Amino acid sequence: MVNINVAQGMRMRRRKLWILAMMSVAALSFTACGSKQEETPASEEVVDFGELTGKNDTAQTEQAQTEETATEVQTEEENREGMYRSEITNEWIDESLKDQRPVAVMVDNEKVALKHFGTAEADIVYEMMNSTANDRITRLMCIYKDYNSVPTIGSIRSIRPTNVILAGEYNAICVHDGGPYYINEWLAKPWSDNLSAGFARIPNGKKREFTEYVTTGEVNNRIAAAGYSKNYTPLYLSTRERESHFLFNPVETLLSTTYGGVGVASATQINLTPAFPHNKSMLKYNANTMTYDYYEYGSLHTDGEDGQALTFKNVILQETSFSQLDAHGYLIYNAIGYMPSTTATGYYFTDGQVIPITWYKNGETAITKYYDYTGQEIKLNLGKTYIGLIPSDAWTAIGIG
């Protein structure tokens, strides 16, 4: 439910946001995103929300039928013995994990750090600029609820202020190896716990900075040594009622059904190269798995230990402005509240489809909420989620096709 202030703001901004969304999409093109090898094939349709119309009776009927079926299925599954639905994926997981805080692990995303270990097991993966230097290299923040089930995660590197802020949404314990002094004020917040450095060093033929990994049991031992709570903290719980981080569809639901066809378009490729030129990040829809596979440096991303692809049921792109902190390229994203332009726009992708969205985060530990252009909070499908914080200065250049 959107609060009153947000809802009023939504109504005032709705027409402006929709026009801006259509303008943004009209500017999207693979041909502006990189080399000729990355150009959109002539037969590939580029998203054009301007051609889409409002709801129709058929779509509304389909939506009602789907919601009725979803309710029935949800009722049947409500009481799986010894299990509960994860608050960050909606998947059924062991009930013993219900009160356990997630961890947010900073994973080095430089090419020499590949292949990663354990990233495909992450529940949520954030990608964002780590610095404006080095061709805007990115870093991944991988969030795990059942972190003890993942034998090795990494390699791990330093953290940035934005990561601390976003991890706070989940009451997650940050796992990293140091960072610039700009992180100090954020790590000192009463809601922020972190474990820095001192994790396992695994020889891999690379320089020392690429050899640090989190291994099974280390997080639990470090949490106990630091005196942190392994479970959700009273301070965190006191700021909100216990709730899922996102709203979820009770069963697999196509966007065209969920939103009655309003603003829904096909989207099988997402080219983020203009935003992240160093990594050349892309997501491609895999019709066999009905998920979006993550690519970077021109190749499908797979984990080093088992070859598992990094793939996502849900993809959220969040246009976010940033402030550069010094000449070295350190920065902080303006991830709290609407951007100064009051047009915090974005996109939500699932099942090869996309809708334009907007977002709002009203405090340091508040959950970032994502809304469709009518002001209703979006519902995700069951599974893992990729969230990309796309710099505003590159937003209109990203490619969707």
Q: What is the DSSP string of 159-188?
A: --HHHHHHHHHTTPEEEES---GGGHHHHT
Report pLDDT for 235. Answer: 84
Dihedral angle at the C-alpha atoms of 43, 49, 50, 51, nearest 10 degrees?
60
Q: Looking at per-residue confidence, does 276 or 16 come out higher? A: 276
| 337 band by pLDDT with thresholds 50, 70 and 90 | confident
| 77 band by pLDDT with thresholds 50, 70 and 90 | low
What span, in angstroms and rounded, lies between the C-alpha atoms of 401 and 352? 10
Determine the Cα angle at 226 with ends 83 and 214, to 5°.
Answer: 65
| pTM, entire model | 0.83
Does the structure show a pLDDT above 60 at 24? no
What span, in angstroms and rounded, lies between the C-alpha atoms of 167 and 103? 8
Report pLDDT for 310. Answer: 98
- 241 CB-contact burial (10 Å; exposed 0-12 / middle 13-18 / buried 19+): exposed
Which residue, 154, 151, 183, is CA-closest to 167? Answer: 183
The answer for residues whose C-beta is within 8 angstroms of residue 109's C-beta and 6 or more apart is 127, 130, 137, 138, 139, 140, 279, 296
Does residue 358 sit in helix, strand or coil? strand
326 CB neighbour count, 10 Å cutoff = 9
Does the structure show a pLDDT above 90 at 39? no
| 362 band by pLDDT with thresholds 50, 70 and 90 | confident
What span, in angstroms and rounded, lies between the C-alpha atoms of 19 and 13? 10
